[in-house]
Amino acid sequence: MGAAGFSSGDINGITLSTNITSGTGSDSSFSYGAGAQYLFDRNWYAQAEYVSLYDKDDVTIKGPAIGVGYRF
């Protein structure tokens, strides 16, 4: 599976501090991801994905995720 799109966030009223800068505001960035899902049986599954949500102005939000789920 794969995904591509546009992410935006608003941190007005919240102070964001990093070792680069601090402040409030909003911004947006192109986002993408890819992953796979494995079905153990009719209800149980495992999935893994990697997503990049924000990569702009020396700030990067990206990483892997794994999960196990049950479908009712």
Write down the pLDDT at residue 46.
Answer: 96
d(CA 39, CA 45) in angstroms, rounded, equals 4
**pLDDT, tens only, 10-46:** 655 555 555 555 455 667 778 888 999 999 999 999 9
Boundaries of every domain in the chain: 1-7+29-72
* pLDDT over 80 at 71, yes or no: yes
Return the HEC string of 19-46: CCCEECCEEEEEEEEEEEEEECCCCEEE
